[in-house]
Amino acid sequence: MLHGERIGLRARLESDVPVLHEELYEDVLTRSRADTRPWQPTPVGFSPYAVGEASDGHAAFTVVELTTGEVVGEAIVWGIDGHNRLAHLGLAVRPGFRGRGYGAEAVRVMCRYVFTVRGFQRAQLETLADNEPMIRAAERAGFVREGLLRRSAWVYGEFLDEVILGLLAEDWAKTEG
């Protein structure tokens, strides 16, 4: 497990799947804002949060509160490019845990995984331009806004802008040291 001060990132367990599926997937608006793929009714047995095989292309984590062991949400390092040594970050926090700073801490722990464990040179994340909590969490970890993709995401009946944020290993090292 990778530890922060209050949260940890650990491998997904079968017992995490129903919680994540119910609170993050079955909420159609939340899921539509978090994924580029369209929402469709999916039983928990086929959940996108299902425990799967290890992959070189992504690393899926469950975010847990260290003191209670409660599931806070999911974190994913995806689009892993070993040749160019970069990866994308994704995060979804359960509604009852939002607004407590867990997201910002999870982003920092994912950065530790990307830069310290994997030795990559760049981390990137894309989020909807109106997702201020994620933008603030990324910027607190040292990410810089690098671009705006105008009307690039179809979300629940409308096109929305996305922001691209990036962080380089040398800039991460300055914040960690």
Q: Which domain holds residue 166?
A: 2-176
* CATH code of residue 115: 3.40.630.30
Quick: pLDDT tens for 128-174. Answer: 999 999 999 999 999 999 999 999 999 999 999 999 999 999 999 98
Q: How does the average pLDDT of the chain come out, rounded? A: 95
Number of compact structural domains in the chain: 1
- Angular region, 158: left φ>0, alpha ψ -120 to 50, beta rest: beta
Give the pTM: 0.94
Work out the pLDDT band at 177, boundaries 50, 70, 90: low
Give 148-156's long-range contacts (Cβ < 8 A, gap of 24+). Answer: 153/36, 153/128, 154/38, 155/32, 155/33, 155/128, 156/28, 156/29, 156/32, 156/33
CB 75 within 8 A of CB 110: yes
